[in-house]
Amino acid sequence: MACLWEDDVRAEGTTRVTWEIEQVGDSCHLTLTHDQMREGANSQIFGGWPMILSGLKTWLESGELLTTPGSLLYG
């Protein structure tokens, strides 16, 4: 993943995001791993994952989109 929205974030370079989905009965378990970033990396690279995953969970369970400002900005 390469974040390109600001010069200081762009300067961090690329990182790796891995999604693992495992079936659990009639549901699934999602594991997201975000690595290959430097120690002390800019939090803008990884800080949005809780909101993104929450929105994905809401959408999958209900079909409804989140209306939080971040969801509208980045959705």
Q: What is the pLDDT of residues 10-53, one digit of tens each?
A: 888 888 889 898 988 888 888 889 888 888 887 777 777 887 88
- Token pair for 12: 């961090």
Position 18 scores a pLDDT of 92
Picking from 12, 14, 51, the residue whose alpha carbon sits closest to that of residue 32 is: 51
Asked whether 65 and 75 are in contact (CB, 8 A), the reply is yes
Q: Which long-range contacts (CB under 8 A, 24 or more apart) does 2-5 make?
A: 3/44, 3/45, 5/44
Position 72 scores a pLDDT of 52
Pairwise pLDDT comparison (44 vs 74), residue with the higher score: 44
Position 71 scores a pLDDT of 47
- Return all residues near 32 (Cβ < 8 A) that are at least 6 apart: 17, 18, 19, 20, 49, 53
